[in-house]
Amino acid sequence: MRGLAILGAGLLCAGCGQVADAQAKLIDSVRIHDAVAGYEKASQPVDRCVKAKSVVIAYTDARDTAETAAWSAREHEDCQAALIALRARAPAKP
């Protein structure tokens, strides 16, 4: 009887991992969607730079390396455009 209870508990917990993974993926996709929507709404160069960084963070958290790399490149371009628009210079690298 005790073994049956342990087996039943094990089967219940086995399904929990799949549910948790599905929930994590859903949360990641919502965060990515919200970040991309914020980026698309941004009109000023500085806003686009900041919002692009938000998208990079969302893809990094979702462990999507290809999209992280693509958005990192876009972020770099947008931040360079923001520096030009502000007539600023990028800080020197240490």
Q: What is the pLDDT of residues 10-66, one digit of tens each?
A: 556 666 667 777 888 899 999 999 999 999 999 999 999 999 999 999 999 999 999
Tokens of 44: 């000023």
For residue 40, tell me if it sits in a domain.
Answer: yes
Q: What is the pLDDT of residues 59-87, one digit of tens each?
A: 999 999 999 999 999 999 999 999 999 88
Gap between the Cα atoms of 66 and 88, Å rounded: 30
Tokens of 85: 């628009």
Sign of the C-alpha dihedral, residues 20, 21, 26, 27?
Answer: positive
Specify the pTM: 0.75
Gap between the Cα atoms of 90 and 79, Å rounded: 9
pLDDT surpasses 60 at 8: no
For residue 72, tell me if it sits in a domain.
Answer: yes
Range of the domain at 66: 23-85
Number of domains into which the chain is organized: 1
pLDDT at 18: 73
More confident residue, 71 or 5: 71
For residue 13, tell me if it sits in a domain.
Answer: no
